Amino acid sequence: MRPLETNSKKKRDQFFHKLDSATSKLLEIIEVLVGFHYIAFSKKSLGAKLRMDPYWEGQKILNTLANLERGNYIKKTVDNNYKLTKKGIKRINFSKLFKLSLDKNKKDGLWRVVIFDIPEKQRVKRDLLRQKLKDFDFKMIQKSVFVSPYICEKEIKELCKILDLKSGVSILTAKTIN
C-alpha cells in the first residue's frame, strides 16, 4: 500500500467519524431551530423543542450540549446563546447526504449524463459522489462519467452543495446514448 493511500484512508475515516445517536438527534433539532441561516439558539429554545420528545431526559440534553461544545460543533456566544460552528454546519450537511434520494418514477425519455473532474486532493468527496451516483442507479461509462434515465438535476445539484463541490461537476441532457 502506498503512503498516499494510507493518508487518504485516515482522512476518510475522520470524515466518516460517527457521532453517538444523542448527538446526532440534537444536531438535527438544532438544524430545525436555526434553519438555513445558522443563527444562534439558546438552551431555552432548545429545551422547548426537546420537551416535545418524550424519550429525552434533561441531563442527557445538557451532557450532549457540552459534548457538542467540546467537539467544536457549537460555541457559546457572549449573550449565553449557542451558535453552530463551521464544523457543526458541515456535520449537518453531511447527514443530509444519507437522506438524499432520487425519485425513480420521474422519467422523460431523456438521459442525464454526469461528468466530473475532481482533483486527487478531494478524493474523499469524489468517492462519495461516485458512490451516491451508484446508489441513485446511475450506470458508470467511465470512472468520471455516469448516465441515468431519471430526472435528477435538482438532486445532483443538492449533492454537489452538500459535498461542497463548487466546480468540476457537469450535468448534460441527451436524447440518445450510443
Give the model confidence (pLDDT) of 130-164 as tens digits.
999 999 999 999 999 999 999 999 999 999 988 88
What pLDDT does residue 75 have?
84
Residues near 59 by beta carbon (within 8 Å), at least 6 away in sequence: none
Say what the pLDDT of residue 117 is: 94
Q: How many CB atoms lie within 10 A of CB 64?
A: 21
Q: What is the pLDDT of residue 24?
A: 63
Each residue of 120-133: pLDDT tens digit?
Answer: 999 989 999 999 99
pLDDT score of 149: 94
Q: What pLDDT is recorded for position 129?
A: 92
Local confidence pLDDT in tens for the 178 residues of the chain? 444 444 544 544 444 444 445 566 666 666 655 544 444 556 666 666 555 655 555 566 677 778 888 888 888 878 777 788 888 877 777 777 878 888 888 889 999 999 999 999 999 899 999 999 999 999 999 999 999 999 999 999 999 988 888 889 999 999 988 8
Given this model, what pLDDT does residue 36 score? 41
CA 152 to chain centroid, in Å, comes to 17
* Antiparallel, parallel or unpaired: β 74-76 and 139-142: unpaired
CA distance 158 to 121: 22
Grid cell of 59 as nine digits = 441531563
CB 45 within 8 A of CB 33: yes
Please, what are the domains in the chain? 3-98 (1.10.10), 102-174 (3.30.70.240)
- Measure the CA–CA gap between 167 and 91, rounded to whole angstroms: 21
Position 16 scores a pLDDT of 40
